[in-house]
Amino acid sequence: MNFFCHRQNIAHREAISGIPIVIRIMKLITLLIFVLQIGVFAKGRAQQVNISVKNAELKTVFAELNKQTSYRFLYNEEIIQKAFRVTFKVSNADINTALSKALQGSGLGFRIHGETITILETAKINPIALKVLTITGTVKDTSGLALPGVTVQVKNKPTIGTATDGNGAFVLKGVPEGAVLVFSLLSYKSQEQPLNGRTVINVVLKNDEANLSDVVVVGFGKQKKSSLVSSVASVKGDALRVPTRSLTNAIAGQVPGIIAIQRSGEPGYDNAEFWIRGVSSFAGGTNPLVLVDGIPRAMTDIEPDEIETFNVLKDAAATAVYGAEGANGVILITSKRGIVQKTKITYRGEYTQNKPTRLPEFMDSYDYLFAYNEALRNEDSPVFKTDEQLALYKNGTDPDLYPNTKFLDVMLRDNTFNTRHTLNFRGGGDIAKFFVSGAYYQENGIFKSNPNNIYDNNLGLKRYNLRSNIDLNVTKTTILGVDLSGQYLLTNYPGTGTAAIFSRMMGVPGYLFPAVYSDGTIAGHPGIPSSNRVNPYNLLMESGYAKEWRTSLQSKLSLDQKLDFITKGLSFKGIVSFDATMNYYMNRLKSPKQFNATSRDANGKLIYVQVGNPETTLGEPVETSNGQKNIYLESSLNYNRVFANDHTVGAMLLTYQKEAQQQGEALAFKKQAYVGRVTYNYANRYSIEGNFGITGSEAFSPENRFGFFPAVGGAWFASNEPFYPEALRKVVSSLKFRASVGKTGNDNTGGARFLYRGTYTTGTTGYPIGIGGTGSLNGLNGIVEGRFEAPDLTWEIENKRNYGIDIEFFKGAVDFSVDYFNNLRSSILLQRRTVSGVTGFRQSPWQNFGSVANKGMDGSVNIKQNIGELKLTARGNLTIAKNKILEIDELPQPYPWMNQTGTSIGEWNLYTADGLHTDNDFTLTTDAAGKRTYTLKPGLPVSTLGGVVRPGDIKYKDLNGDGKIDNFDRSYYTGSNPANPGIVYGFGLNAEYKGFYGSIFFQGVAKTSTVFGQNAAGNFFPFAFGVEESNLRAEVADRWTEANPSQNVMFPRLHSISFANNQVASTWWLRDASFIRLKNIELGYRFPKKMLRKIGFETGRIYLMGNNIAVWDSIKMWDPEIGNANEGLNYPIPRSYTIGIEFNL
């Protein structure tokens, strides 16, 4: 016998050219994908052979085929020598075709075993070895219970398979002798069984935590990923472990379909806004339903270490079971549970340093006052400060009387620090399984503290989490689940609140006063009280403090009972949950002494004037509290059974009721629902599923109280078809198509209750009695109508359609999933805004009116590639959503550009800027006193927006051509959505080599914009509130001046007071708010298990992590993710650096 093998040589010859670019922002993702795919693709293509020989020995042919493939050849030298020489040619052929050509007429045949090819004489090939068998057997779990629904397949031949019946038995026909059977089931470890001559195989499957990746949590149940017909995206809890308090800040860019935007970094108030597949309603609620372990709960305070999976339900087939709560999508968070294993103890500790990603920059006192003088000169008015005074501010020789206060430097720390500790216990046996977790998280704020205070004036947060999930096998057919969890949160902040301090710290001009005079005296302003004249340093250090305590207790009791004694595959599940939350608030305020320095005496000592009414001690505590309790009841019958090996049938009937009792509310909020599902799968090739939800809500009249929301979905697993080409399977190893259609609802009325009933109230002005009687003097208070009754009011309706495809290449080396969705929201819940006041309504009536179309796509790709001991994984996801208002409550408009119908929700309604006015637009006259008068030349539109325009002011297009700029010249700008970006994406790379590992992840947002100056608290426009009332951003240096009459500036001509013409919302201030962020980077080392076991540990690692490391955008002035909320004058999003350790016992 001659045995030889040749190591496969993969030639990286695939050229990257002509890569299709769908959108520009995906270029980087595409490049990353293709770079990693080269090696994978080359490996798959290497099995295709190209050979041309003439009068060649078979040994030469085998050697050439060995070079081009991974196959090794085994043959007897004697029979090869007997064979004649061969001549043939094949191109891009598989190995079977090439060998058949080579051995044709030679009397030789071949058999393939894995990657070994045996050459035999045809007469000696045992026909018995080619026969097929029928295999029978049973499958049970470790406790001896039969497992129905176990998939039994021939390895590498998905078309030959079946499933166990209700007794755990199976019959599999057509199995090739020598095959290997694969047994798999949700939540159990897959098992391979070689036949080895057996025709009866009995198997025991064990629970397996790792197998959970093949399980997808859906509404009121679980499904195997391969049989899923709906659009569901999942991510493991480990991927959400970032150094932040709120889970909402960890999901951005991680999950296709999720749009998450963080608006603040303030401890305790840093929750991100998030939507699923964009927004479809301009009036009703837009937030998705969030469930933790099937119970409606907030996701903000759950620890990532407690999470098993984070699941996003997007289409109707997934969300219809939630009826009137499913229109905005559903998020299902599943906490970890015990598994059968020796108790595993896991500790993780982190220490984090934070600093702001970006803070606004402001002009110093000299530049500020110079700019104000310029504004006055632009108006031909006397200057505010003389050149001599300006020089004193510039040289800084007397910071008490001529200050240049940089409040951000004085009041903010350079760094803050967080700590996190978690300790988990997980394990179990045949009787009980458990998961117990405890966590502590502390976060410190960015403010500096006053060491002289007896209280803490800084921001601070401490959170304690406890969780216990226990499953008890009461009998062989009964499982009792007992879940308990609790959170305790303590928050501290300055007495006047964080927002007030930030707006004043960034809004008070630095020339007004120092934070503290040089002798330690607290500065204050002597003028008329104003929020923008208050010393922000004083507000922080001396205004007192506030505390908030929040305690949450959550419980859940569940019972799973098999009812096989009634019929095989039938089971019952019941759930009872009780949650309680209590919030307690307390603040103690103080008004300290403040002084204003007016001058110096002969000795150079400051002369002060006392400001305000000081309080020497903290005020008495002011206390408030509120609370809520929630009760949830659920019961269901479930059926799952396999008939005739290939027909898997499932069904569910469920009902639930929930109520929420809030402190101060006389009646609890209540909802009741009925849910149904039917599923059918044939031979793991065809799946169909029908769902419905019937939801009842108190918001609507008894006649309209319950709504019916059905959905149907189907899937075709094309790669499991018998006719699926084996040659194609080597490249496209898995191919699945999905589609669904259905209806969901939304009953979110913003807290308004019993809208079908009208309300009445006592009048406050009274009815005049007698001639000349007025008000309460001669009047009597009467009854007036409040809210008008709306007996016909009902749900918002969302009709959803979804089409998806799931593909795996090269046996899972690359997997790709993409969905297209087309949703129509109608009967939108709103209060009419076009009802005339002459009708007498004191409140606009509620009605179902309006519709919105929302279309788009979302998808993800994952690539795995091993190069020796180097393991690489790349991932990316993309969500595109575009809505269009089809009908909205608006009056008929005289011009089409004024119509909101046809635009997207939230698009800006703007004047169209046409550059800045120039000298050529005016006729200039100057009087004897030097006062200039600018008169617009004929033919140019006159602005009626406020103020007399001059050169350097913004010029606008007269859209309707009436010769003036007014409200009729405003138009909606497509694609300018400020709040809900049209495109979000994320991509990253993971690498691991001999214990070292690293990862990098980017998050991006596109198709979004902002308009500067539209938040009154932001003080964006120079001197909009006067010289003492607003600070100037450093960007004001880029402005129009008489010496620099450029059109390419950021700010137009300066004015000494508000000038409406330059401040209205217009395209001059419109900016692209797209950004790409280096969201996360991690480097770590996993210690060798052999070393750790010597000291009693199983596994351990140490890691460094960075979060929000860098951002690329065109805004520059503040973090673009904050948006235009407060124009950046609020608590910044933090950039963090973390060191952590994790050990398992």
Which domains, from first to last, does the chain contain? 47-126 (3.55.50.30), 131-208 (2.60.40.1120), 757-790 (no CATH)
668 burial (CB, 10 Å; 0-12 / 13-18 / 19+) is middle
Q: Any idea what DSSP says for residue 200?
A: B
Read off φ and ψ for residue 791, nearest 5 degrees: -70, -20
* Residue 840, pLDDT score: 64
User: Could you give the C-alpha distances from 743 to 281, 695, 740, 849, in angstroms and in order?
Assistant: 15, 13, 10, 18
Helix axes 387-395, 365-378, angle to 10 degrees: 160
Crossing angle (nearest 10°) for helices 58-68 and 95-103: 170
Q: Is the pLDDT of residue 19 over 50?
A: no
Q: What is the mean pLDDT of residues 275-290?
A: 87
Is the pLDDT higher at 976 or at 317? 317
- Report pLDDT digits (tens) over 558-578: 999 999 999 999 999 999 999
Within 10 A of 1027 (CB to CB), how many other CB atoms are there? Answer: 21
> 1042 pLDDT exceeds 90?
yes
Name the more confident of 614 and 946.
Answer: 946
CB of 357 closer than 8 Å to CB of 1111: yes
pLDDT beyond 70 at 765: no
| Calpha distance 780→768 (Å, rounded) | 7
Q: Which two tokens stand for residue 79?
A: 């029979």
Residue 661, token pair as written in the block: 């009792």
Cα–Cα distance list, 837 to 377, 764, 783, 832, 850 (Å): 47, 19, 19, 12, 21
Cα–Cα distance for residue pair 328/313, rounded to 1 Å = 10
Q: What is the mean pLDDT of residues 798-806?
A: 96
- Judge residue 37's burial from the number of C-beta atoms within 10 Å of its C-beta, 0-12 exposed, 13-18 middle, 19 or more buried: buried
Cβ(90)–Cβ(134) under 8 Å? Answer: no
The dihedrals phi and psi of 1086, each to the nearest 5 degrees, come to -95, 120
Angle at 421 between CA 420 and CA 424, to 5 degrees: 140
Mean pLDDT of 823-849: 81
pLDDT tens per residue, range 947-962: 999 999 999 999 999 9
Mean pLDDT of 232-243: 86
**Paired strand residues for 1010:** 1071
Task: Please state the rounded mean pLDDT for residues 622-632.
Answer: 94
Helices (H) and strands (E) in the chain, counts: 14, 62
Residue 516, helix vs strand vs coil: strand
Helices marked H in 104-217 — which ranges? none
Residue 131's pLDDT is 62
Asked if residue 1122 has pLDDT above 70, the reply is: yes
First-to-last alpha carbon distance for the chain, in angstroms, is 52
Estimate to the nearest angstrom the gap between the alpha carbon of 842 and the chain centroid.
40
Tokens of 1054: 């300066």
- Determine how many CB atoms are found less than 10 A away from the CB of residue 314: 29
Query: pLDDT tier at 841 (50, 70, 90 boundaries)?
Result: low
Cα distance between residue 167 and residue 186, in whole Å: 17
DSSP run (H or E) holding 375: helix 365-378
Query: How would DSSP label each residue in 774-836?
Result: -HHHHEE--EEE-SPP-TT---EEEEEEEEEEEEEETTTTEEEEEEEEEEEEES-EEE-S---
DSSP string, 300-328: SS--GGGEEEEEEE-SHHHHGGGGGG-TT
Tell me the β-bridge partners of 824: 799, 853
Q: What average pLDDT does the segment 919-942 reach?
A: 92
980 band by pLDDT with thresholds 50, 70 and 90: confident
Summarize pLDDT for 54-78 with one digit per residue, the tens.
Answer: 888 888 888 888 888 878 787 777 7
Least confident of 698-707, 1100-1109, 1123-1132: 1123-1132
Query: How much is the pLDDT for 993?
Result: 95
The residue among 701, 910, 731 whose CA lies nearest residue 794 is 701
Nearest to 559 by CA among 638, 486, 649: 638
Query: Looking at the predicted structure, is the pLDDT value of residue 436 above 70?
Result: yes
Q: What's the pLDDT tens digit per position in 136-161? A: 999 988 777 788 878 898 887 777 88
- pLDDT score of 5 more than 70: no
- Strand order of the β-sheet with 2-4 is 2-4, 72-75, 116-121, 108-113
CA proximity to 1131, closest of 526, 444, 655? 444
Q: 920 falls in which pLDDT band (50, 70, 90)? A: very high
pLDDT at position 653 over 80: yes
Q: Which residues of 615-644 are buried (b: 16+ CB within 10 A; e: fewer)?
A: eeebeeeeeeeeebbbbbebebebbbbbee
Q: Give per-residue pLDDT as tens, 452-472.
A: 778 889 999 999 999 999 999
pLDDT at 977: 66
Per DSSP bridges, beta strands 622-643 and 647-662 are antiparallel
Q: What percent of the chain is helix, strand and coil (3-state, nearest 5)?
A: 15, 45, 40
pLDDT at 770 over 60: no
Cross-strand partners of 480? 472, 559
Q: Is 324 helix (H, G, I), strand (E, B) or coil?
A: helix
What integer pLDDT is reported at residue 123 of this predicted model? 56
What are the backbone dihedrals phi and psi of residue 322, each rounded to the nearest 5 degrees, phi first? -95, 5
Predicted pLDDT of residue 36: 35
The pair of structure tokens assigned to 85 is 């020489």
pLDDT at 244 over 90: no
What six digits make up the tokens of 462?
């401490």
Contact 855, 823 (CB under 8 A): yes
Q: What is the per-residue pLDDT for 342?
A: 87
Q: Which one is predicted more confidently, 109 or 756?
A: 756
Which residue type occupies 330?
V
User: In the predicted model, is pLDDT for residue 442 greater than 70?
Assistant: yes
Spacing of C-alpha 385 from chain mean position: 51
**Token code pair at residue 255:** 């999950």
Return d(Cα 321, Cα 1089) in angstroms, integer.
46
Q: What are residue 937's DSSP bridge partners?
A: none
| Residue 708, beta-bridge partner list | 694
Q: What average pLDDT score do residues 334-355 get? A: 93
Tokens at residue 803, please? 């089409």
Q: How confident is residue 239, by pLDDT bands cut at 50, 70 and 90?
A: confident
Taking 80 as the threshold, does the pLDDT of residue 294 lie above it? yes
Q: Which phi and psi angles does 729 have, rounded to 5°? A: -65, -30
Strands 2-4 and 72-75: antiparallel
Can you tell me the distance from the alpha carbon of 705 to that of 795, in angstroms, rounded to the nearest whole number? 9
Amino acid of residue 1016: A
Average pLDDT, the chain: 86
Give the separation between CA 1012 and CA 1123, rounded to whole angstroms.
Answer: 10
- Give the mean pLDDT of 592-611: 88
pLDDT band at 1022 (very low <50, low <70, confident <90, very high): very high
The residue-averaged pLDDT of 622-637 equals 95
Cβ distance 270 to 244 under 8 Å? Answer: yes
pLDDT band at 47 (very low <50, low <70, confident <90, very high): low
Highest mean pLDDT among 340-344, 701-705, 800-804, 1071-1075: 800-804
The pLDDT value recorded for residue 376 is 95
- Take residue 1026 and report the two structure tokens written for it: 């006067």
What is the mean predicted confidence (pLDDT) over 342-363? 94
